[in-house]
């Protein structure tokens, strides 16, 4: 945790989806933060907050039911969270996280065999990049996506009350399966809201970044993730900049993908694995603002937001959001924070 992040207040946790709290998807709160103003609104007001010519870049990755019930060699119940395929491309090898029955992290050991549903199994091969995560060789009775559909559930952390169906962990944009956890900044969008944005002259452009488990980012740098910035989106971003419009990333995943495809402010088509880590020492060049949730103090997302907005604005925004009762995490409230 940086010295700056340690001073930030932490808003309360969102323990249930907005729908379970009597809100529509776009009924969560939105704090608009720029150097000149802090404005409280609801997310449904986003078309009025933006201006014609602005471009929203969205992540179309679909959340996997990536949590599998498992049993250790001694029969103890565990949860195996699938995070991302191993970047070396070896078939059947995934980066995984082990959790005990009470939801806490659980250490593994090289060669440990875990039993999975329907006679599946996972062998822990080696620690991954010096983190708590492991490379696991999976042996499954059917292709992975079908197996997860039949046996998996959404990854769930201790701050959530109850188990919520996978569709509540999806954005309206979700088309390409691959994320261990929802790219949650896009969750409040609805078809009706998108129609209002387009009618106001605000365009949307898609890309893909498949997220891994967010728990890794407790005092640890993000690890490589799969992404793709299509040619049409790269061209649309560059056109918006030339025409004087703003490029607004919907989520930190979009920032990471776009910046991975950017050279001296120009975005090119790109795909593959990105290990880019954005922080105060590495400024952004492709975006003018970001729609984002509120994060834990020890999340690397805060270093990215500090690079975008600067510490003064970020601190003012966090203090205002906390004082107003905003909620953090994937089912919480959001900020639109502008680049300094």
* Domain boundaries, given as residue ranges, for the chain: 3-63+164-338, 67-151
pLDDT at 76: 93
Residue 330: pLDDT band with limits 50, 70, 90: very high
What's the CATH class of domain 3-63+164-338?
alpha beta
Q: What is the pLDDT of residues 15-55, one digit of tens each?
A: 999 999 999 999 999 999 999 999 999 999 999 999 999 99
- At 106 the pLDDT is 87
Residues 6+ apart with CB under 8 A from 225: 84, 209, 210, 211, 212, 253, 256, 273, 274
Summarize the confidence of residues 164-186 as an average pLDDT.
96
DSSP tag of 168: G
> C-alpha distances in angstroms, 193 versus 19, 28, 202, 250?
17, 13, 11, 14
Query: Could you tell me if 37 and 31 are in contact, meaning their C-beta atoms sit under 8 angstroms apart?
Result: no
Q: Which residue has the tokens 């609104």?
A: 41
Cα separations (Å) of 293 from 36, 109, 123, 252, 334? Answer: 21, 35, 35, 9, 4
Q: pLDDT (tens digit, 9 = 90+) per residue, 269-327?
A: 999 999 999 988 888 999 999 999 999 887 888 889 999 999 999 999 999 999 999 99
List the Cα angle 204/170/147 in 5-degree steps: 130
What is the per-residue pLDDT for 218?
Answer: 54
- Give the residue-averaged pLDDT of 326-336: 97
Residue 259, number of CB atoms within 10 A of its CB: 21
Instruction: Look at residue 136 and tell me whether its pLDDT is greater than 70.
Output: yes
Residue % of the chain over a pLDDT of 90: 80
Q: What is the pLDDT of residue 103?
A: 79
Give per-residue pLDDT as tens, 96-119.
999 998 878 888 999 999 999 999
pLDDT at 325 (0 to 100): 97
With a pLDDT cut of 70, the percent of the chain lying above it is 97
Maximum average pLDDT range among 14-28, 123-137, 210-224: 14-28
pLDDT score for 68: 98
Mean pLDDT of 216-228: 78
169: pLDDT strictly greater than 70: yes
CA–CA separation, 128 and 115 (whole Å): 21
Band of pLDDT at residue 253, cut at 50, 70 and 90 = very high
The structure tokens listed for 225 are 């993730």
Identify the pLDDT of residue 236.
Answer: 97
How many whole angstroms separate alpha carbon 229 and alpha carbon 232? 8
Q: What is the mean pLDDT of residues 246-262?
A: 97
Residue 130 in this model has a pLDDT that exceeds 60: yes
> Average model confidence (pLDDT) for the chain?
93
Q: Give me the mean pLDDT over the 239-268 stretch.
A: 95
């Amino acid at each position: 945790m940086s010295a700056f992040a340690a001073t930030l207040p932490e808003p309360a946790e969102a323990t249930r989806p907005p729908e379970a709290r009597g809100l529509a998807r776009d009924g969560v709160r939105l704090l608009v933060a720029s150097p000149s103003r802090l404005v409280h609104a609801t997310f449904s007001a986003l078309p009025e907050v933006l201006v014609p010519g602005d471009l929203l870049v969205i992540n179309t990755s679909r959340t996997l039911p990536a949590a599998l019930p498992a049993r250790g060699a001694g029969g103890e119940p565990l949860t195996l969270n699938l995070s991302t395929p191993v970047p070396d491309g070896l078939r059947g090898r995934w980066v995984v996280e082990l959790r005990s029955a009470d939801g806490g992290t659980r250490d593994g050991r090289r060669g440990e065999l875990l039993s999975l549903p329907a006679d599946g199994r996972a062998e822990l091969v080696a620690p991954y990049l010096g983190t708590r995560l492991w490379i696991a060789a999976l042996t499954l009775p059917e292709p992975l996506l079908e197996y997860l559909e039949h046996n998996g559930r959404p990854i769930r952390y201790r701050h959530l009350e109850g188990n919520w169906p996978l569709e509540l962990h999806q954005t309206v944009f979700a088309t390409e399966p691959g994320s261990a956890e929802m790219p949650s900044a896009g969750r409040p969008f609805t078809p009706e809201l998108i129609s209002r944005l387009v009618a106001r002259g605000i365009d949307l452009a898609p890309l893909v970044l498949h997220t891994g488990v967010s728990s890794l980012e407790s005092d640890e740098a993000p690890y490589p993730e799969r992404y793709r910035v299509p040619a049409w989106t790269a061209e649309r971003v560059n056109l918006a900049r030339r025409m004087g419009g703003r490029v607004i990333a919907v989520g930190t995943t979009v920032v990471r993908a776009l910046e991975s495809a950017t050279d001296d402010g120009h975005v090119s088509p790109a795909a593959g694995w990105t290990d880019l880590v954005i922080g105060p020492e590495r400024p952004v060049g492709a975006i003018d603002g970001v729609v984002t949730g509120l994060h834990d103090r020890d999340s690397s997302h805060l270093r990215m937001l500090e690079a975008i907005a600067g510490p003064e604005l970020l601190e003012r925004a966090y203090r205002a959001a906390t004082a107003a009762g905003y909620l953090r995490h994937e089912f919480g409230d959001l900020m639109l924070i502008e680049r300094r």
